Amino acid sequence: MYKKAQNLSYLSLVLMVLGSVIVDQVTKNIAEKNLMTWEHSKDLKQYSGKRLHLLTIGDQEEKHIENNFYLSFNFNYVRNQGAAWGAFSNLEDKFRVPFFYFVTIFAMIIILLYMKNTPKHHRLAFFALTLILSGALGNFTDRFRLGYVIDFLDVRWSIPLPFHLNWNINMFPQSLDFLNFHINTSTWQYNFPNFNWADSTITIGIIFLIYDMLVFEPQREKLKVNSPKKEKLNTQTTERVSAT
């Protein structure tokens, strides 16, 4: 019975990862067909895509940008040859390609080992690791198949600030440009780097994993500490009953 349950658990894991990768690849393929308008025959960095507006919450009109709130969702085709937020995308191909292959494969091996050592009853942690693994595999499929990762989800916002700030962080080089940002004295305007389904599953998985570590893990440790005490108390009670 235990062996059968274990096999079903592994099967559900494989189906979850496979399903997530399929959704990731299908959505990226749709984005490439509908949003990519031109590409160079050899140079992957030379291309053009279009941006389609999906939904805006608030007012995004140019004359109302200052001191105004909006949250905008769009489809926007981008080829990311680097890591998250486009980091290291400007590295030479002879360094960039093997680097990301090595990092991704190494990360997936670590995740698999972590999953192997994670008890199945730690369901949230196991589910979180499954999400992270599926996301890593989805983006790795892009790198192996295309040489770049397709990002097409575009989120932008403008948030009024109740206090006056004027932060202009522009100290990082172009390869780390995602770390540079500007917040003016009245409004925080930011175009979040484009992402995809795989990025979303990785992010959600990390959030679940952190929640499991901060909330559930301390509870498990308390149970471990209290269990020997209860066992000892039960033993003493049994001995007393036997003595009487």
Active-site positions read 151, 199
Strands 149-160 and 187-195: antiparallel
Instruction: Look up tokens 């599926």; give the residue.
Output: 134
**Which helix H or strand E contains 76, and what residues bound it?**
strand 70-80
Got the DSSP string for 109-159?
HHHHHHHHTS-TT-HHHHHHHHHHHHHHHHHHHHHHHTSSEEEEEEEEEEE
Using the 8-state DSSP alphabet, how is residue 90 labeled?
T
- Dist CA 166 CA 153 (whole Å): 28
Instruction: Look up tokens 């790795």; give the residue.
Output: 140
* Contact call for residues 165 and 183 (beta carbons, < 8 A): yes
Distances (CA, A) of 16 to 25, 43, 129, 153: 14, 35, 11, 22
* Contact call for residues 105 and 98 (beta carbons, < 8 A): no
